[in-house]
Amino acid sequence: MKDASEVQDLLKKYKSTRTTALRNHGDDYEDDEAVLQTDGTSSTDEHFVDSTRFNIFIAAIICVNVIVIGLEIDLGDFTANIEDRLGWYAVENVFLLIFTFEMVARMRHHGRYYFRDPWNTLDCIIVTLGIIETWFLAPIGSASNFRMLTSLRVIRLLRLGRLVHLLRSFKELWLIIMGLVDSLKTLGWVCLLLLLVLYVCGIFTTIQIGQDTDTYGEYRISSGGWDHKEYFGTVLRSMYTLFQIVTLENWADGIVRHVVSNEPLMVIFFVLFIMLTSFGLMNLVIGVIVENTLATARTNEDRIRRQQERERSRVLAHLKDIFEMADQDESGSLTVEEFRQAIRNPEVILERKRGSLEMLEAESA
């Protein structure tokens, strides 16, 4: 329904008739309300594999499964025969049965659309590998496949990534994840720029420090073993040392003080280098992540608002058709009896269960 005044008239008609029914036929209307709560099923009811409760249950099972894998690594023998790890093997079978049931149930419900979701494809691969490992390879128990078994068990940890997909209802967590994902392209360019800076500065420090044997040859003895070639002997060593300075890990006492004590003017280079990399590029990385997270939040809010508008338009158009059909005398308004018949319509009951009518009342309040 595109006309705003028509929408408001429909909502007013619904609320006024509902109020009249409550005032004049309270007991009968309460019976109708009970019908709304208990009667009416539709083929469009949510399947259990898509329900929030089922997804939370599977998410909890995934968490427990990952914890059990860690406990087995610490407390048990991850590569032992089934006889030596019978308890852990039994637990593995319980988890595998649950995940296999979940996968089959989703396949039966979604059909060919199941594999359109990359998370479902990943889950299918993990469950299939689990079946091969637990029900086929593990009973063989030969020493030659222990390493392969261990690799397959580690692959099961990928299921933890699917946990993030299941817990998208946690808005803050999902925004952080999507912000990081959206930042990868920009972060790649920042990393490339950092690599170029390290390379150029690495060439300079290799020539200035690593190849200056006259200055640093005797200093190795007087300093108690500080070797300039160990830190700046080649371009790669110089880049690694400069990256250590970027992270500010033991950069002053371990590196810079030794160089500056022999070449005081090098303090200018190191100050400029730290300002450019540690205070510049590294903060740029943080800024990129924050900006992308905020952009993701704005996009998510716009998407939710568009979904709500589409749902509102759909519900209003649907209810308009229902109430127009209920207006048998074509008077332009509903009597209490016509209204009671309308709300017994299974489609109205379904919208009520979804909370659509309460949403419209709240918006028009």
Q: Domain-by-domain residue ranges, the chain?
A: 52-169, 179-297
Please provide residue 94's backbone torsions phi and psi, each rounded to the nearest 5 degrees: -60, -50
Could you report the per-residue pLDDT of 128-158, keeping only the tens digit for each? Answer: 888 887 887 777 755 455 556 666 666 666 6
Say if 52-169 and 179-297 have the same CATH topology: no
Residue appearing with tokens 């489609």? 347
Percent helix / strand / coil, the chain, rounded to 5: 85, 0, 15
Q: pTM of the entire structure?
A: 0.56
What is residue 224's predicted lDDT score, i.e. its pLDDT? 78
In this prediction, residue 272 has a pLDDT band, given cuts at 50, 70 and 90, of very high
Both structure tokens of 194: 């950092």
**In contact, 23 and 338? CB cutoff 8 Å:** no
Q: How far is CA 283 from CA 175, 197, 246, 275, 289, in A?
A: 20, 16, 12, 10, 10
Q: Is the pLDDT of residue 10 over 60?
A: no
Q: Is the pLDDT of residue 28 over 80?
A: no
Q: Is the pLDDT of residue 320 over 90?
A: no
Mean pLDDT computed over 300-322:
79
**In contact, 199 and 234? CB cutoff 8 Å:** no
Give the rounded distance of the alpha carbon of 342 from its chain centre.
Answer: 42
Angle of helix 282-326 versus helix 336-343 axis, rounded to 10: 130
In this prediction, residue 357 has a pLDDT band, given cuts at 50, 70 and 90, of low
More confidently predicted of 7 and 121: 121
Angle of helix 346-354 versus helix 282-326 axis, rounded to 10: 150
In this prediction, residue 68 has a pLDDT band, given cuts at 50, 70 and 90, of confident
C-alpha atoms less than 13 angstroms from C-alpha of 71 in its C-beta half-sphere? 11
Mean pLDDT of the chain: 76
Rounded CA separation 71/61 (Å): 15
Mean pLDDT computed over 196-208:
96
Residue appearing with tokens 């080649």? 234
Mean pLDDT computed over 322-326:
71
Mean pLDDT computed over 293-316:
82
Q: Is the pLDDT of residue 292 over 50?
A: yes
**Considering only CA atoms, which of 90, 66, 89 is closest in space to residue 77?**
89
Of 5-19, 107-121, 143-157, 235-249, the range with the lowest mean pLDDT is 5-19
Please provide residue 191's backbone torsions phi and psi, each rounded to the nearest 5 degrees: -65, -40
Beta carbons within 8 Å of 74's beta carbon, 6+ residues apart: none
Q: What is the third-level CATH fold of 52-169?
A: Four Helix Bundle (Hemerythrin (Met), subunit A) (1.20.120)
The CATH code for residues 179-297 is 1.10.287.70
More confidently predicted of 305 and 206: 206
Rounded CA separation 280/120 (Å): 41
